[in-house]
């Protein structure tokens, strides 16, 4: 379709071998670019998924310096794409905690946005227990980036990560956006129950495309992630999706579709803020 933008989610099953994870991520980015994708999203913690909290601290990089960031920058340059680098651990002012940081690179390899995950995952279900705040410091700022895909098309992209998906107020704070990205590592338990519902809800209520790149399989320590990377349109329709395993999911984003949905159902203009009870 004219003026449509091909976007991609790289779904991974990351483990504890950081160089291998990076290699697989770069291969996915290249595959997406070879098929014509202009914007590519990696999953949360694409570079390392481990039950050992210390592992995040051991590989944490200073912002703007380190092999993981260099690899992402070079991949964006080599593939000529806008790259949402999933998330990586970046050092904080607390030596016992890192930021879970999402970096966006333009096709020149420059970091044009950084989002530190605000909502930290806490979950207990029998033997399945996670407490992200043990080793991660919460971010404080909502982030949106303008991505100039070409001279004719620019996308306003809202940044979020995994557990953020459960907090609609975050997305309202972004203002009007064209695309919401959600790099994730949803557990199999929570993913099966809520993943699709939450993604479609965020698309519908914000009348924006949602592109979610997921971890999808079995990781060290028998951790299971749900996968099912998806592209959802502003009406809540699933335009593309995967199941489990590694691969590249491609889908088209149509700016005219956004305009038509908002014109036919002007919900964003009909919001009433600050109602007195």
Confidence of residue 122 (pLDDT cuts 50, 70, 90): confident
Alpha-carbon distance values, 152 to 2, 41, 149, 260 (Å): 11, 22, 8, 18
The percent of residues in the chain predicted with pLDDT above 90, rounded, is: 87
Q: Tell me whether residue 277 is in a domain.
A: no
Give the pairing type, strands 230-232 and 209-212: antiparallel
Q: Count of domains in the chain?
A: 1
Name the phi and psi angles at 266, rounded to 5. -80, 55
Domain contains 135: yes
246 within 8 A of 219, measured Cβ to Cβ: no
Q: Is residue 202 part of a domain?
A: yes
Domain for residue 272, yes or no?
no
Active site positions, annotated: 44, 117, 162
pLDDT tens figures, 156-204: 999 999 999 999 999 999 999 999 999 999 999 999 999 999 999 999 9
Inside any domain, residue 273: no
Q: How far apart are CA 53 and CA 72, in angstroms?
A: 23
Q: What is the CB-side half-sphere exposure of residue 138 using CA atoms within 13 A?
A: 11
* Cβ–Cβ < 8 Å for 29, 83: yes
Whether 260 has a pLDDT exceeding 60, the answer reads: yes
Task: Give residue 196's domain range.
Answer: 5-266
pLDDT on residue 126: 66
For residue 236, name the pLDDT band (cuts at 50, 70, 90).
very high
194 located within any domain: yes
Q: Over 70: is that where the pLDDT of 277 sits?
A: no
pLDDT of residue 221: 84
Domain of residue 140, CATH code: 3.60.110.10
**Residue 107 DSSP SS3:** coil
Residue 45 included in any domain: yes
Portion of the chain with pLDDT greater than 70, in percent: 97
The DSSP-derived string for 222-243 is GEEB----EEE-TTS-EEEE--
240, β-bridge pairs: 231
User: Which positions ≥6 away from 83 have C-beta within 8 Å?
Assistant: 29, 39, 40, 42, 72, 75, 76, 104, 105
Query: 65-89, pLDDT tens digit by residue?
Result: 999 999 999 999 999 999 999 999 9
- pLDDT for residue 276: 57
* pLDDT value at residue 150: 81
- Residue 122: inside a domain, yes or no? yes
Strands 82-84, 39-41: parallel, antiparallel or unpaired by DSSP?
parallel
Question: Cβ of 31: how many Cβ atoms within 10 Å?
Answer: 17
pLDDT (average), residues 41-48 = 98
Tell me what pLDDT residue 182 has. 98
CA angle 46, 50, 53 (to 5 degrees): 115
Residues 130 and 137: their CA atoms lie apart, in Å, by 15
Residue 207 has pLDDT above 90, yes or no: yes
pLDDT score of 1 more than 70? no
C-alpha to C-alpha distance for 254 and 85, rounded to whole angstroms: 23
pLDDT of residue 24: 98
- Alpha carbon distance 44, 86 (integer Å): 5
Instruction: Quick: pLDDT tens for 83-94.
Output: 999 999 999 999
């Amino acid at each position: 379709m004219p003026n449509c933008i091909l976007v991609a989610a790289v779904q991974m099953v990351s483990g504890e071998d950081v160089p291998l994870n990076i290699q697989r991520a770069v291969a996915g980015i290249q595959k997406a670019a070879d098929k014509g994708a202009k914007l590519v999203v990696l999953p949360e913690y694409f570079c390392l998924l481990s039950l050992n909290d210390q592992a995040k601290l051991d590989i944490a990089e200073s912002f703007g310096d380190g092999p993981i960031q260099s690899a992402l920058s070079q991949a964006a340059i080599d593939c000529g794409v806008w790259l949402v680098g999933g998330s990586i651990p970046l050092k904080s002012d607390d030596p016992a905690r890192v930021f879970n940081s999402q970096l966006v690179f333009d096709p020149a390899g420059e970091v044009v946005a950084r989002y530190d995950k605000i909502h930290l995952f806490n979950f207990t279900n029998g033997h399945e227990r996670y407490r992200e705040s043990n080793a991660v410091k919460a971010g404080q700022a909502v982030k949106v980036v303008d991505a100039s895909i070409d001279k004719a098309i620019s996308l306003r992209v809202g940044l979020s990560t995994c557990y953020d998906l459960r907090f609609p107020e975050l997305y309202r704070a972004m203002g009007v956006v064209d695309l919401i990205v959600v790099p994730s590592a949803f557990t199999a338990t929570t993913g099966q129950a809520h993943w699709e519902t939450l993604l479609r809800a965020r698309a519908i209520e914000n009348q924006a495309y949602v592109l979610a790149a997921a971890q999808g399989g079995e990781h060290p320590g028998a951790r299971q992630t749900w996968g099912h990377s998806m592209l959802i349109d502003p009406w809540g329709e699933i335009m593309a999706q995967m199941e489990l395993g590694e691969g590249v999911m491609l889908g088209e984003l149509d700016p005219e579709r956004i305009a038509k949905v908002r014109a036919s159902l002007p919900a964003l203009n009909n919001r009433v803020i600050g109602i007195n009870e």
